[in-house]
Structure 1
Amino acid sequence: MAAWHGPDGILVEVITLNQRQRIKVSQYVNGRRYLLGYYGSIGAIVRHVDLADLVEVYDFPA
């Protein structure tokens, strides 16, 4: 699964929802995670974060 971090605690993840790929956008505020929405295209998330500010997150094996 791919994930990207953005400024102000924004987290963008590619997930499978109802057998379709969706982009989940959430935000961490004061230690809590708030769902901002599920989107079907990259262009729809620009209301929350500038795409140039996203940094990809890699999971390294232990």
Structure 2
Amino acid sequence: MGIWLGPNGIEVEALVMNDRPCLRITRLVGGKRTLVADCADVREVSRYVDLAELVMADDDERQRFGHVTA
């Protein structure tokens, strides 16, 4: 669907869980990705990350933000 990157290893991924849309927030810590929250909408995501700091993921942005490529 879509992945957005933020500072400090934050990654927000749009996905479907149990036939419902979900925004999964994870953080890269010590080389391992850990779950922060599964959110039902963008308002919930804003509790965990400043939405203005998120950028759409591509290879250049993944490198710039220090995210590990899959």
Gaps of 5+ in 2: 60-70
The amino acid across from 2:54 in the alignment is L
Aligned pair count reads 59
Cα deviation digits, residues 3-59 of structure 1 (max 9, x gap): 000000000000000011100000001101000111111011112210000010147
Q: CA RMSD in A?
A: 1.2
TM normalised by structure 2 equals: 0.79
Name the residue aligned to 2:3. Answer: 3
State percent identity of aligned pairs: 37
The amino acid across from 2:9 in the alignment is G
Gaps of 5+ in 1: none
TM normalised by structure 1 equals: 0.88
